[in-house]
Amino acid sequence: MKRYAVLVAFMVVVGHVSTAFAETITVSVKGMVCSFCAQGIKKTFMRKEGVEKVDVDLDKKLVTIETKPGATLSDAALTESIVDSGYEVTKIERAK
């Protein structure tokens, strides 16, 4: 019975660890003005391994990226992708 309790406790900890590393990253982007801009940025990030979901809010000039558990994108990689698409990053915020 004691082994069963230890096994269950281990499984709970492992389950929490695997979901703890999913991130929501919000990037403020200067220069996005139309739905074509939004679609281009969305496609750029959806091609990246580890990206679960991308939302673009043109009114607020925000790109929100949700990563898969265990995946991450560096600020440099985020900035490079935005700049290569022809826009400017003004701010990056992360939430776990």
Give ∠ CA 75-80-89 in degrees, rounded to 5.
70
pLDDT confidence of residue 21? 78
Q: What is the mean pLDDT of each run of 10 residues along the chain (96 residues)?
A: 52 49 94 94 95 96 96 94 95 90
pLDDT confidence of residue 36? 95
pTM of the model: 0.76
pLDDT confidence of residue 29? 97
Gap between the Cα atoms of 68 and 47, Å rounded: 13
Which domains are seen in the chain, by residue range? 22-95 (3.30.70.100)
φ/ψ of 27, rounded to 5, equals -115, 125
